Amino acid sequence: MRDRGRLTRRGQLAVLAPAALAVVGLPAAIRAQDPGFDPVARLVYAVEYARDPQISPNGEWIAYVHRFADRTEDRWHAEIVLTRSDGSDRETLTSGPDDRSPRFSATGDRLAYVSHAGGFWEIRVLSLATRRRADLAAGSSPIGSMAWAPVGDRIAFLRHGSDPDTRVHLYVASVSSGRVRQLTSTGFPVAALPLDTRLAWTPDGAALLFSADPDPRDAPGEASVETPSGGESVRGIPFRIEGDVLEIPSSGGAVRRLTSWAGPEDDPTASPDGRRFAFVSAGPARAGRPGRALRVLERSGGALPRSLLERGGLDVRRPAWAPDGRQLFAIVEGGGGARLALIGLDGSDRTLADGLGGGPTATAGSASFSISADSANPRFAATAVVDGSPGEILVGSRRRGDLPRRVTWINDDLDRGARIAFEQVTVAPDTPAWALSPADGAGADLPAILAIHGGCGSTYTAGFDLELAAFAAAGHVVLALDPEGSADVVLAAADTLAARPGPASRELALLERGGDGMLARDALGRSDAFRGAVVHRPPGCRVDAPGPDEPTVTAPLLILDAPAHPFDEPPAALVARLRRTLDGLRAGNRD
């Protein structure tokens, strides 16, 4: 049931703790059907998601994206919903089918969002007082990141250029006049500017910060780019461009490079006084994988960045300055979980909310948040997995003792009697893992799937994962973990499952997601514990031919191309891929 009515429930937060048991269920009406119903399809079409929560400057309202699978149209429907920050007075503002990126104006009286309908992309600006709408920048090419100016009525955004220049460019639109100005051009020296790159205005609205690869060798034409310290090496790291923080005047002009160290520097955000900016760059490695550290640097240049949070195994994402400039809010991932942290300029670190996540996947980077403009006690809105429900919204503040509260219940019509259990287990030191199984079934008597992350792209965090939940709903015990490239950890996890009573020891299959299949082949070649394996290969990963020293694989191995995100394929295609995955995992059954 798609509830569009007023929300009246209140309650203290019950977020998913790493060692807790969480549940998500199928609607009761589904379970009442004949025993032959498809649990994979039913789960895909039943679960709904709240994403990208944006809290108004005064902290009184929250706009977010409500997304669900539309079976009739075979697409993921997305609409913008507005609710008070206490969860009351919920209103669906748009009709979709693909509305995203809600953003409040600095004064809080207007809401901009990206709409994709009828083959066209445009920015729509809605007056919250009159509900009148202005449309900007209509075109056939996709629109990505978007940000309101802190003063005035301008909106910065990214979109693909037109042929023959199909690269992503930066634009600024005036809401009052409708005029759109392109700040970057064909000669702009940016070889790689992703469509979802974060855009950050300076407080005076005079410039924009963003991250890109400004290698002039990969871009035609000429343009002026200034580099700090003349591009010399810093801390012994040779100068190498892979993604730097850039600054460009909002009225157009020369680009200034603010960082130029080896490795990507991204997620920039200017301090409230405009003197400094925070950003994320490569941090200490753990098991060969570099983390993401939070750093602060003077915009004027000439100094080394100051590290605020830099520990092995931690990924910092989306930092945002508190309005008083004394602290930063940021998502911190590590130890298999994601949390919202308050980080001081002295390096202090305090958790404001645990169990962050959102959307249909438990990979890193799925959570999001925003903060209000109250300098005394800014409030936040964040997505989290609450009682097993994916992507609900929490509201809280930085005041000590102010516990975050849940303000959405979009999956409350799911039958709690048809549960999928979720709990943390231990398979190896410093390797968190999560077990999913039908809570009303005899988990010890079910076949098992070991789901591992292969290493391309993001890693796993604790949270709801639609694909793994679907496998559990189909009658499997699923153990999910990120072995960080270690086949030894994979085999240790197989031993954990093999020790379970019942047939799991002879009905164990391996699923590698987010990888090129090398880890699965290594595990299959070193152990006969698996009856077969399936690899979900994302874009950019490929399977090389086995080398002469690699072990021989005799178990069935199926390679399936998969999108980077479940929302990147129609629901019917997702269901078909999951069904084919289950068929492949069952292919080597020895019984």
Q: Which tens digit of pLDDT belongs to each residue from 162-193?
A: 655 667 889 999 999 999 999 987 666 565 67
| Secondary structure (3-state) at 307 | strand
DSSP 8-state code for residue 15: B
Residue 43 in any domain: the answer is no
Separation of alpha carbons 252 and 171, rounded Å: 10
| Secondary structure (3-state) at 487 | helix
Residue 225 in any domain: the answer is no
What pLDDT does residue 32 have?
43
Separation of alpha carbons 543 and 523, rounded Å: 15
Per-residue burial over 354-392, b = 16 or more CB atoms within 10 Å of its CB, e = otherwise: bbbbbbbbbbbbbbbbbbbbbeeebbbbbbbbbbbbbbb
- Nearest one of 558, 510, 512, 511 to 530, comparing CA atoms: 510
- Residue at token pair 């075109």: 139
Residue 303 in any domain: the answer is no
Which CATH number fits the domain that encloses residue 505? 3.40.50.1820
Separation of alpha carbons 543 and 59, rounded Å: 49
CB 87 within 8 A of CB 9: yes
| Secondary structure (3-state) at 513 | strand
Residue 485 in any domain: the answer is yes
CB 246 within 8 A of CB 214: yes
Residue 512 in any domain: the answer is yes
Could you tell me the strand order of the sheet in which 99-104 lies?
99-104, 110-117, 120-127, 133-139
DSSP 8-state code for residue 195: T
Structurally, the chain folds into a number of domains equal to 1
**For the chain, how many residues are written?**
591
What pLDDT does residue 334 have?
80
What pLDDT does residue 225 have?
36
- Residue at token pair 């290493």: 455
CB 532 within 8 A of CB 584: yes
Handedness of CA 580, 582, 585, 586 (dihedral sign): negative
Element (H, E) at 280: strand 276-286
DSSP 8-state code for residue 213: B
What pLDDT does residue 398 have?
95
Residues whose CB is less than 8 angstroms from the CB of residue 587 and which lie 6 or more positions away in sequence, other chains included: 531, 532, 556, 558
How many angstroms separate the Cα of 413 from the Cα of each of 28, 304, 418? 8, 53, 12
What pLDDT does residue 189 have?
56
- Residues 536-551: pLDDT tens digits? 888 776 655 555 556 6
Token pair, residue 26, equals 């199928």
Q: Which residues of the chain have pLDDT under 50?
A: 1-23, 25-36, 216-241, 416-418, 442-443, 503-505, 589-591
DSSP 8-state code for residue 471: H
- Provide φ and ψ at 28, rounded to 5°: -60, -35
pTM of the entire predicted model: 0.86
What pLDDT does residue 517 have?
85
How many angstroms separate the Cα of 295 from the Cα of each of 199, 216, 350, 365, 410? 17, 26, 17, 19, 37
Secondary structure (H, E, C), 530-556: CCCEEEEECCCCCCCCCCCCCCCCCCC
What pLDDT does residue 459 have?
60
Per-residue burial over 282-310, b = 16 or more CB atoms within 10 Å of its CB, e = otherwise: bbeeeeeeebbbbbbbbbeeeeebeebbb
Full residue range of the structural domain in which residue 575 is found: 419-586
Residue 439 in any domain: the answer is yes
| Secondary structure (3-state) at 406 | strand
- Nearest one of 386, 400, 427 to 9, comparing CA atoms: 386
Residue 579 in any domain: the answer is yes
What pLDDT does residue 239 have?
30
Separation of alpha carbons 354 and 341, rounded Å: 9
How many angstroms separate the Cα of 428 from the Cα of each of 13, 425, 494? 31, 9, 11
Element (H, E) at 495: helix 487-498
What pLDDT does residue 419 have?
61
The CA-CA-CA angle for residues 65, 315, 371, to 5°, reads 40
Separation of alpha carbons 584 and 556, rounded Å: 8
Residue 249 in any domain: the answer is no
